[in-house]
Amino acid sequence: MRHTLPLAPQFYVTAPQPCPYLEGRMERKLFTALQGQNAQKLNDSLSQQGFRRSQNVLYRPSCADCSACLSARIDVSQFSPKKTQRRTIRRNAHLDRKATSPWATEEQYELFRTYLDSRHANGGMADMDVFEFAAMIEETPIRSRVVEYTDRHDGALAGVSLTDVLTDGLSMVYSFYDPERHSDSLGTYMILDHIKIAQEADLPYVYLGYWVPGSQKMGYKSRFSGLEIYLGGQWQVMDDPDNFAVEKHPLATDPIAEQVANISLPDTVPVTR
């Protein structure tokens, strides 16, 4: 029996399941547990290498015959709002922002359910109950915040973002909003406001999760200037999204052992496979 945590992160691969972004494809994830006293350092390091956090797990797409998913972040020093984005900021000037500790509330869950039922009724989170929602918000071993956006006119909760604070930026883990306010472009507004928060805190990046060329669900991310994507083991400036094709060749993905061997860990801790 093991009574102590392993000294090095151990990496695993999920079983294939239908891809939520590209029809007819199968997805697979490389993941590791986020635990122990070095959890913050590990999250910082792997986030810079295209990983994302979900509760106590860090993961990155590792599909057997596809490498279309590209981690995306905004370099806030290179960001300049477009005319439509400036209109979005003005349109939501009546919203008040409040950042709190990661604690789930009934009001958040009600908004979350409304959002899912309207936008993602058939998605992987569609059956999430209040206890699973609370776990998503509260089970975090690192520095996280819940950023709420409230309408100062009627006091209604309009949007929520679960956000991690990294050494080099903010990572928007999961966001949801009132779908009836679709004309307000709340999803875009919350990203714009996180760019503002990062600028005020002198943090260089806002991490947005994955961008998939050819996926309508992910198209909005390519509309932000200063966008970078993680490709070929490094971050690259994305000037034109049309220059990045969906890579679905069976040899596009490196073998798992090679992927793990190329992961850089904080303090040069060895990798366990």
pLDDT at 160 > cutoff 50: yes
- 65-79, 162-176, 246-260, range with the lowest pLDDT: 246-260
* Res 248: pLDDT: 57
Arithmetic mean of pLDDT, 100-118: 94
Averaged confidence pLDDT in the chain: 88
| Residue 247, pLDDT score | 60
Instruction: Retrieve residue 159's tokens.
Output: 């949007």
Q: Has residue 32 been placed in a domain?
A: yes
Q: How many CA atoms lie within 13 A of 220 on its CB side?
A: 13
Sign of the CA dihedral 194, 130, 216, 242? positive
Examine the domain organization and report whether 167 and 48 are in the same domain.
Answer: no
Whether residue 174 is found in the same domain as residue 202: yes
- Give the per-residue pLDDT at 4: 44
Same domain, 37 and 111: no
Q: Is residue 80 part of a domain?
A: yes
pLDDT of residue 131: 95
What is the predicted pLDDT for the residue at 2?
44
Share of the chain above pLDDT 70, in %: 89
Residue-wise pLDDT for 132-156, tens only, equals: 999 999 999 999 999 999 999 999 9
Sequence-separated contacts (24+) of 3-12 with Cβ below 8 Å: 5/35, 5/36, 6/272, 7/269, 7/270, 8/265, 8/269, 8/270, 8/271, 8/272, 9/33, 9/42, 9/265, 9/269, 9/271, 9/272, 10/272, 10/273, 11/256, 11/260, 11/263, 11/271, 11/272, 11/273
If asked whether residues 86 and 160 sit together in one domain, one would say: yes
- Range of the structural domain that residue 63 is part of: 11-68+246-268
**Residues paired with 98 in a beta bridge:** 148
Whether residues 164 and 34 fall in one domain = no
Rounded percentage of the chain residues whose pLDDT exceeds 90 = 63
64 and 189 both lie in a single domain: no
Question: Average of pLDDT values for 241-250?
Answer: 66
Q: How confident is the model at residue 69 (pLDDT cuts 50, 70, 90)?
A: confident
